[in-house]
A and B are shown apart, each in its own frame.
Chain A
Amino acid sequence: MELRARSFRQRAAESLANPHLRKALSNLRSRMVVGRVASVGELDNFEDIREAARQVRDNALEHLDFLLEEFERNASARGARVHWAETSEDMNRIVLEIARAAGVRKAIKSKSMLGEESGLNKYLQAGGVEVRETDLGEYIIEQSGDTPSHIIAPAIHRTKDEVADLFEQRHGRARKTDISELTREAREMLRPHFLTADMGITGANFLVAETGTTMIVTNEGNGRMSTTMPRVHVAIAGIEKVLPTLEDVSFILRLLTRSATAQSISNYLSFTTGPKQAGDTDGPEEFHIVIVDSGRTRVLGSELREALRCIRCGACMNHCPVYQNVGGHPYGWVYPGPIGSVLTPAYAGVENALDLPHAATMCNQCGVVCPVKIPLPDLMRKLRERQFERDLRPWSERTGLKLWAWAATRPAVYAALTRIAARVGRAMGGRDGAIRSLPGGAGAWTAQRDMPAPAGRTFRELYAARKRG
């Protein structure tokens, strides 16, 4: 996907001015946030499981090299072909080569964020392979020429009425407004593609080293059809997705679906181990697994390593006050919200996503709900430090911080300056004690807020006066 993280500020302003988006995002809060509390509450030891999940993910990242080799051995033994891609371009090329070698004309695709990273659909289409998104949200995105704004619910920024208009226009059928009718219509449009596709492309929520299994978590059944119906199945996965055992997968799933969609379990869990075997009634003739680095090794060796624990539940964005108000598009790449504010600069370079690590109130609601305890505000702060060290922040900001520290480490100077500021501020506040307009950068505060005026004397001077009696 094209990187547009530099325009966060401008696109956030557009989001704030969009009433449809506001309506769509209000559903997110009521459904995802409220639902999660009840769902997590079903477990009496959620915090213990969370800590155990953190350890399992850390342990897997620690032994990534061994686990990936073990995965390759076991997957190969069951007849899968394992391919290694260093970059997302390599991945695109490998998938197209597989398609060409197998004479594929049409591919159906289940949702994959890695596919979004690499722009796989466009690449395959340019290479002569027709690609159809089959996840309902992704289908809406595809039909409207849009980009996803959430990793679990890609079309969360669209209201039901917008989807009704889109379907009416694209399908040429009578406008429907009932969600189940809209869903049925999308199924009817997709069904012929499921029946005629030669290739199914899926992501992978996890790779299981001990069995060589890829697995996906879905709700709509499109993933299951993508893994079983076409004669070729290609699963694409980042190197960080590997877990040692099926047992690890099963208990991390208890956190994943609850954190993601407030479900105790999703409608479908598809485990794929090798292609169709002798005696199987269905399954693909060829099964390829493309394991992709695309910047992950670099992150693994950096201070942002903990971000690779991510199991893509989306809870951090659902709970982020910034995301809740601007949606996913301003973040400008595949991963929005707090995890995007870490992963986008980590993968694309801090200089290419200057605003993202700053676009957070550091409220740590994301860190509290993260099922694998990624300390997202701490990682954003590390990115802020890298920006500051490299002089990537505006001159006024850097100078302001230096001046503040210079004065605040000199109590006498600081006392004199704050005495002046307290008096000037008091005068600016006038009779009702509210400053309506501040100069310079602070004007961003008073554009939409008053600044309550200071009282006129600092605590320290009043305290000293009281001491003197």
Chain B
Amino acid sequence: MRVGLFVTCLVDLMRPRIGFAALELLESAGCEVVVPASQTCCGQPGYNSGDRASAQALARKVLGEFKDCDYVVIPSGSCSGMIKAHYPELLSDVPQARADVEWLIARTWELTDFLVNVLRIEQVPGTFQGTVTYHDSCSGLREMGVKSQPRALLAKVPGLVLEEMSTPEQCCGFGGTFSVKFGDISARICDQKCDDVQSTGTDAVVLGDLGCMLNIEGRMRRRGDVRTRVLHVAEVLAGTTGEEG
């Protein structure tokens, strides 16, 4: 099985270790993983900012990058949601792209969804000593149906105990460019998420989207919480949470 890994622009720039964790998870499950070197961005910033032409240019670039793969797997609910939920509309006025779009969306998976529902993995490489709580990132939850999959996988991690926060489905306030256009509102929304995480008393909040991670970690640290770790589900499952990068 040939799996194309789309690491996403944020992971590429900010947290390569999440990309390597995804790679490790896929390879340890027996996949042949290819990482197209030309990959950059799925086009979401332009799409959500009204710059349709830019978004289309990037979407068409993505269409051509995974043609030799059986699946395209992405460690992000928001970038996989961009492809699956929005490429058909975004490229609806480009009739020659229709077949490629249909091909791509049928093969695109969010990482945890893929591990559970395609690979059906029984074991994960990682171990974790401590308690965690899980934040459901909006696009993963509402566009990709990612809810039970990460929890099922975390339950397989030896030593890990999951304790739910009161409103795990509440938005963290990131919202892409919203976090900069309305920084004050974004931070206030994030305060509720931080309060909710901290009230669980767990060692870490785990989630599946780097945008939300940067937002929650950034606000937590500014509020003076240097204890609660903010971790991507891939690095917890791969057991690479102690690594640099």
Contacts and interface: CB of A to CB of B under 8 A. Distances in A.
Interface of A: 9, 12-13, 16, 321-322, 324-326, 358-365, 367-368, 378, 381, 383-389, 393, 397-398, 401-402, 404-405, 407-409, 411, 414, 418, 421-422, 425, 434, 441-442, 444-452, 454-460, 462-464
27 contacts: A321-B173, A359-B178, A360-B178, A363-B175, A365-B171, A381-B48, A389-B50, A401-B46, A402-B51, A404-B41, A405-B53, A408-B41, A409-B58, A442-B180, A444-B181, A445-B180, A449-B222, A450-B218, A450-B219, A450-B221, A452-B214, A452-B221, A454-B13, A455-B14, A455-B17, A459-B7, A460-B39
A445 B20 contact: no
B185 interface: yes
A397 B218 contact: no
Contacts of B46: 401, 404-405
B155 interface: no
B142 A364 contact: yes
A422 B138 CA distance: 27
Contact of A444 (B45, B183, B190): B183
Given A9-B182, A409-B57, A458-B12, A448 B17 contact: no
B46 to A, nearest CB: 5
A233 B239 CA distance: 71
A421 B40 contact: no
A360 to B, nearest CB: 7
B242 interface: no
Interface in B45-68: 45-55, 57-58, 61
B214 A404 contact: no
A362 B214 contact: no
Given A401-B45, A463-B19, A358 B178 contact: yes
Nearest to B138: A363
B132 interface: no
A405 B186 CA distance: 25
Contacts of B61: 408-409
B122 interface: no
B245 A462 contact: yes
Contacts of B133: none
Contact count band on B: 35 or more
Nearest to A386: B50
Given A446-B218, A451-B214, 7 more contacts: A9-B182, A322-B189, A389-B50, A411-B38, A448-B184, A455-B245, A460-B35
A407 B57 CA distance: 11
A457 B16 contact: yes
B185 A411 contact: no
A387 B19 CA distance: 36
A458 B45 contact: no
A434 B221 contact: yes
Given A326-B185, A409-B58, A414 B174 contact: no
A325 B183 CA distance: 13
Interface in B177-200: 177-190, 192
A363 B138 CA distance: 5
A445 B245 CA distance: 22
B170 interface: yes
B245 A421 contact: no
Contacts of A401: 45-46, 49, 51, 54
A11 B190 CA distance: 20
A460 B35 CA distance: 9
B12 to A, nearest CB: 4
Contacts of A456: 245
Contact of A381 (B7, B50, B184): B50
B9 interface: yes
B15 A449 contact: no
A428 B90 CA distance: 37
A449 B190 contact: yes
Contacts of A451: 214, 218
Contacts of A13: 184
Contact of B50 (A363, A384, A459): A384
Nearest to A403: B54
Interface in B108-138: 138
B56 to A, nearest CB: 9
Interface string B66-95: 000000000000000000000001000000
Contacts of B245: 455-457, 462
A414 B171 contact: no
A460 B185 contact: no
